[in-house]
Amino acid sequence: MPLIRISLRAGTPPAYRTALVEGVYAALRETFAVPEGDRFALIHEHETANFHYGPDYLGIHRGDELVIIQITANATRTTAQKRALYAAIARNLGREPGVKPADVLVNLVEVAPESWSFGDGLMQYGPPDS
């Protein structure tokens, strides 16, 4: 049920962008127990003039290869699971496609389970009708 949004500067090859999605999805499967096939990801490429960031915020030096990952997921995970997710994403993207850990920014947006409709106009994870 997570929705993955990945933002980065324009100009990377398709294989690079695919590796980003695969790395995030693998981390979600490992740490959040996301089931096979529950993969919904969007990639947003931005021209330089439309991609701004603090290069040294919190003492972390990031560069133009910055990848901003926003994940919307049910608010059901522990702090330990979230820490494990962030570490797994950085590790996976470091291996493939080779993103430096400092250039991996993750934002987790938590929502109630009933905040989703995966199709057919239904609330798949919500409480039953009374």
- List active site positions: 2
Find out whether 68 and 105 touch, Cβ atoms under 8 Å.
yes
Question: What are the two backbone dihedrals, phi and then psi, of residue 40, each rounded to the nearest 5 degrees?
Answer: -135, 110
DSSP 3-state assignment of 14? helix
Of 62, 60, 39, 36, nearest in space to 51 by CA = 62
CA distances from 39 to 7, 29, 63, 82, 98 (A): 17, 10, 28, 18, 22
DSSP 3-state assignment of 60? coil
